[in-house]
């Protein structure tokens, strides 16, 4: 609630002191998030974003208040293989036909996010390149991967249908993390706008991103229905930190006043 009040106060300030009328603004962006300094630093996500909102103009800068949509997918995942070889400390995996798996990338965890972002653009007269800073908060509204397998400890999606094995008192169990949801994704970025023309600019940014993922952990026997067991298992929060790199385009709609008839 305090965060919402603060955002409303910032918007109100720009409305009161704005010296020009508001402008509509829209944008398209692509992003890569590489996990750093958390868990096993193995998570990697790619995303495509769309945003639309209003721009409040001032002499020394402008504030964009934007509604955001983002489609996000994993890049790294655990893939099935039939055999393995290690040569000069390099690991190679092979499928059942003996073919080397060259590109172990596949979209398994696909999510849809919506949220809000604020972007402040610094203006310098007659400058093609201008800096900006932005913050964004998103929440997941849909995913195809609920109760999907995650590798224990690294939380990257797994294509295999069996979890890691563990033993207890002579019995063999299967064990795995399971994906539930990602209720929070936040980022703080700094970058530059490169103007192509009066209304269109290329945006390049880098910064910090944060994800809170809800997961479950279960151990089960091969003849057990693990999904039935998951219904009674509570979720746990996993906090991850990322290096976020983004590239996008912004278009500002310009509405000129029509000249009054003589």
Task: Give the model confidence (pLDDT) of 143-186 as tens digits.
Answer: 999 999 998 888 988 877 656 565 556 567 788 899 999 999 99
Asked if residue 257 belongs to a domain, the reply is: no
Q: What CATH number should be reported for the domain holding residue 125? A: 2.40.160.20
Per the domain annotation, does 113 fall within a domain?
A: yes
Does residue 24 lie in a domain region? yes
Per-residue pLDDT at 115 exceeds 50: yes
Which residues on adjacent β-strands are paired with residue 240?
211
Looking at mean pLDDT, say which of 73-82, 146-155, 200-209 comes out highest.
200-209
The domain of 183 spans 2-252
Tally of structural domains, the chain: 1
Report how far apart, in Å, the C-alpha atoms of 107 and of each of 73, 74, 77, 88 are: 6, 6, 8, 30
- Give tens-digit pLDDT for 135-151: 999 999 999 999 999 98
DSSP class per residue in the chain? -HHHHHHHHHHHHHHHH-SS--EEEEEEEEEEEEE-SSTTS--EEEEEEEEEEEEEE-SSEEEEEEEEEEEEEESB-B---SEEEEETTEEEEE-TTS-B----B----EEEEEEEEEEEEE--TT-SEEEEEEEEEEEEEEES-TT-EE-TTT--BB-SSS-EEEEETTEEEEEEEEEEEEEEEEEEEEEEEEESSSSEEEEEEEEEEEEEEEEEEEEE-TTS-HHHHHTTSPPEEEEEEEEEEEEEEEEE---PPPPPP-
């Amino acid at each position: 609630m305090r965060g919402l009040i603060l955002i409303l106060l910032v918007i109100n300030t720009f409305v009161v002191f704005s010296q020009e009328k508001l402008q509509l603004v829209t944008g398209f962006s692509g992003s890569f998030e590489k996990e750093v300094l958390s868990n096993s630093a193995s998570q990697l996500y790619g995303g495509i974003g769309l945003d639309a909102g209003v721009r409040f103009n001032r002499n020394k800068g402008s504030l964009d208040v934007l509604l955001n949509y983002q489609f996000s997918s994993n890049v790294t995942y655990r893939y099935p293989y039939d055999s393995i070889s290690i040569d000069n400390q390099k690991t190679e995996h092979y499928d059942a036909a003996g073919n080397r798996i060259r590109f172990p990338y596949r979209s398994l965890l696909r999510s849809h996010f919506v949220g809000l972002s604020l972007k402040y653009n610094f203006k310098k007269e007659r400058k093609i390149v201008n800096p900006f800073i932005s913050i964004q908060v998103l929440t997941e509204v849909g995913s195809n991967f609920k109760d999907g397998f995650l590798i224990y400890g690294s939380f990257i999606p797994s294509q295999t249908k069996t979890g890691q094995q563990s033993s207890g008192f002579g019995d063999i169990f299967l064990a795995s993390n399971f994906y539930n949801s990602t209720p929070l994704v936040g980022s703080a970025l700094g970058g530059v706008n490169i103007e192509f023309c009066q209304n269109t600019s290329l945006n390049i940014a880098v910064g910090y991103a944060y994800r809170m993922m809800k997961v479950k952990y279960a151990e089960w026997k091969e003849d057990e229905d693990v999904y039935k067991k998951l219904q009674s298992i509570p979720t746990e929060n996993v906090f991850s930190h990322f290096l976020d790199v983004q590239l996008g385009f912004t278009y500002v709609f310009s509405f000129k006043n029509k000249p009054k008839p003589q």
